[in-house]
Amino acid sequence: MTSGPLPEPAVSLYDIGTFDHPVGVAHRPGDSQVYVVEQPGRVVAVNDLSSESVLDITDLTESSGEQGLLGLALHPTADLAYVDFTDLDGNTVIAEFAIDPATGQFDRDSYREVLTVDQPYGNHNGGQLAFGPDQYLYIGLGDGGSGGDPERHALDLSSRLGKILRIDPVSSGDEPFTVPSDNPFVGDDGADPTIWAYGLRNPWRFSFDPDTGDLWIADVGQGDFEEIDHAVATDRRDAAKGTSFGWSAMEGFEPFNDDQSAEGAVLPLFVYDHTDGRCSVSGGAVARGDAVTTLQGWYVFGDYCTGQIWALDPTAPAGDPRVIEIAQLDALAAVASGPDGDLFVVSNAGTVARLIPG
């Protein structure tokens, strides 16, 4: 890790366009375009000259509350795209589309379901997809919804809810995906082998630091606290492998459901409360691009209700977090890295902007 403290950044927002309830952005290695995820069911490719819809699945999903098209990841070595959406019954679907290498269009006819998860309630669907440094697909799922983890999914290793899953999503023979043999619970009696990390309430957005392989999770809290979890990688691999992040035994640093065990849980790196109208954390990525040199190394995240955007210094001493407010964007849904490691911020009200020097 870089020695600190990091220099204090100064940023401003450069709008790249207005979209229909955007919830995130993604990018492909070697591609200068930004792919904007619109909750009603479209993916829009944006560059300096134009924007174009490359996928429309509005007939497969319904945008309502925390449902709709929620996530996108582009395969690092193949012309394949993976999306996370809730179907018309409200259940989570991970689906694959082939990408035309000449036009960049996602081939709707190539639609293939990779994995589905039944959702008992309409909220806490997660939605984040990301390929890790190991080139496997990581999938974020909330605890199933309602409030307080009523069915106690998050710490239950037989359930995929309240977890981050890890799979190889490319089909193999008759199997729609493959479970990596080094997943932490492979062979454990009663455990779902796709699980990578657990004890999460709603890991709406998580990301890997492209330099270190560390995993950063912005886990949406219950009534009192929002949290940032940080899992350190070893040789850019295995961040958060087999880790419990404590929900619903814990909310932030505080006990929550006393019938759940917090034994072995990793506590958050940073927690904030709901004072002054704050309500829901929107992660989050480490800046590694050259656009804002003073932002390099900072983890950037924010709050949906207040629109405050903060930067967290990972070099600060343990137990003494250094967090500063750097920008503002109403209805902040996500902070994500794009081409060249530059950061983008997404407002569910419509705006997508790039962080530039301010």
Work out the burial of residue 189: count CB atoms within 10 Å of its CB; fewer than 13 is exposed, 13-18 middle, 19 or more buried: exposed
Beta bridge partners of 262: none
Question: Per the domain annotation, does 317 fall within a domain?
Answer: no
* pLDDT given for residue 325 in this prediction: 98
Question: Per the domain annotation, does 268 fall within a domain?
Answer: yes
Domain ranges, residue 259? 20-292
Question: Per the domain annotation, does 248 fall within a domain?
Answer: yes
Look at residues 133, 131, 190, 124 and name the one whose alpha carbon lies nearest to residue 165.
Answer: 131
Average pLDDT over residues 347-357: 98
Average pLDDT over residues 52-77: 97
**Does residue 73 surpass a pLDDT of 80?**
yes
Question: Per the domain annotation, does 324 fall within a domain?
Answer: no
275 DSSP 8-state letter: G
**Residue 231's CATH number:** 2.120.10.30
Q: Is the dihedral of CA 170, 79, 17, 210 positive or negative?
A: positive
* pLDDT given for residue 283 in this prediction: 96
**Does residue 180 surpass a pLDDT of 60?**
yes
In total, the chain counts a number of residues equal to 358
* pLDDT given for residue 1 in this prediction: 56
Per-residue pLDDT tens digits for 285-319: 999 999 999 999 999 999 999 999 999 999 999 89
With a pLDDT cut of 70, the percent of the chain lying above it is: 99
* pLDDT given for residue 2 in this prediction: 66
Amino acid at 300: V
Per-residue pLDDT tens digits for 232-250: 999 999 999 999 999 999 9
Confidence of residue 4 (pLDDT cuts 50, 70, 90): confident
**In total, how many domains does the chain have?**
1
Confidence of residue 212 (pLDDT cuts 50, 70, 90): very high
CA distance 61 to 92: 10
Mean of all residue pLDDT scores within the chain: 97
CA distance 19 to 345: 13
With a pLDDT cut of 90, the percent of the chain lying above it is: 97
Average pLDDT over residues 103-125: 97
Question: Per the domain annotation, does 5 fall within a domain?
Answer: no
Confidence of residue 3 (pLDDT cuts 50, 70, 90): confident
Question: Per the domain annotation, does 333 fall within a domain?
Answer: no
Question: Per the domain annotation, does 354 fall within a domain?
Answer: no
Question: Per the domain annotation, does 350 fall within a domain?
Answer: no
